Structure 1
């Protein structure tokens, strides 16, 4: 086993640990936004793991799957960010008018 193969297997191990952490966040995450980000992390980790696996095997057979998964992850992240910003702007309330010392509005 060469040093590069060992590095590949170690990388796959850490990618698997990252996927387990993201799956935990999907199940336990307190907010919907946490879960959505964790799903994106799982998609990125799986495409990274598949890339490392292809490098270890020496066969780039699944490169189109990695490209499509990356595009889906990018589009979903951009869409999620857009709706999160729009929702935050829609939830902002109007500023309260200032009241004078006698309670009269100015």
Structure 2
């Protein structure tokens, strides 16, 4: 799938039958998208947050998801930000107020 402004990395192409969320233009992956609808339609109640930028997009998505009633897990060593201060805020100050769990990749894999 290719759209203006972005494309999938060759190693991360969607597989046949993958559920695709419509594009969004804000910080949260939930705002102005069909993500909530698709998750509920598939009976998903837990979300795992990874990626970039920890203190903006990921934080907004995690907070929105929590407000919608999802169990939110943030994987702290699978996120990035532009400064250590921003990472600290996302993982140690703001995250604990809405994330249900903040774990490492190894902890997540062990729990799965």
TM-score with structure 2 setting the length: 0.26
Greater strand share, 1 or 2? 2
Higher alpha-carbon Rg: 1
TM-score with structure 1 setting the length: 0.26
Greater helix share, 1 or 2? 1
